[in-house]
Amino acid sequence: MKNPIIGITLDYEVSGGYSKFPWYAIRENYLSCLHKFGAIPFPLFHENSLNDYLLKTLDGLVITGGNFDISPTLYSKTSDGSRNIKNKRTNFEIDIFKKFIQTSKPILGICGGEQLMNVAAGGDLIQDINTSIETSIKHEQPNPRNEVSHEVNIKNNSKLFQIIKKNKIKVNSAHHQSVKNIGENFTISASASDKVVEAIEHTQHPWCLGIQWHPEFLITDADIAIVKNFIKHA
């Protein structure tokens, strides 16, 4: 049995912090959660000209979250609470997602990665949850990210339910935006009690799932099941 090679997208900073020059970054557990269950993580720097080659080489794709928002101009809106736009990263991720969705290779979008997939498919976003809807849920949880925060309801007929075999789970939460109108060929598979979308899945692709929380922390059995099932299909 071969170890699948999984492409995983990186965050990008122009300067500051780690270096005075542009640099890439990724949290360690994005990589280690894949390696733990037999995959080889392959970080992807933002160069669209490589994407056709990567499509042939990689066995799966993880689109990560990060310290950024997607430009609302990509879904024909003006800014209304969006922060820290990173066009180079977003353009790369949209390009490689659109190539992968034409294959049967598994795709997992995490947090901003879920939102990216929805926008790439023609959907849009709630740009700031706190100023857009009334909710008692803290979607940017005050407790550490390696702890659960609130409950998520899973639809019975969804691929996500088939994977985790539960209707209700607890998740961590680290986002101020969320999916609003669903992109083409996507459907909602999970939501919070305040109706904020927590997971989407592609109806025409064998394994394309977007998760608003961070399963790479492997906090719960559900997190572990998602990562293992993704690798199983790579």
Amino acid at 42: F
Q: Model pTM?
A: 0.97
Q: Give pLDDT, residue 80.
A: 86
Asked if 48 contacts 132 with a C-beta cutoff of 8 angstroms, the reply is no
In angstroms, rounded to a whole number, what is the distance separating the alpha carbons of residues 56 and 59?
Answer: 8
Q: Which residues of the chain have pLDDT under 70?
A: 1
pLDDT computed for residue 1 by the predictor: 65
Q: Is 44 within 8 Å of 36 (Cβ atoms)?
A: no
Residue whose C-alpha is closest to residue 171's, from 204, 198, 190, 149 = 149
pLDDT at residue number 179 = 98
Residue located via tokens 């965050």:
11
**Domains within the chain, CATH numbers bracketed:** 5-232 (3.40.50.880)
- Backbone angles phi and psi of 178, in degrees to 5: -160, 165
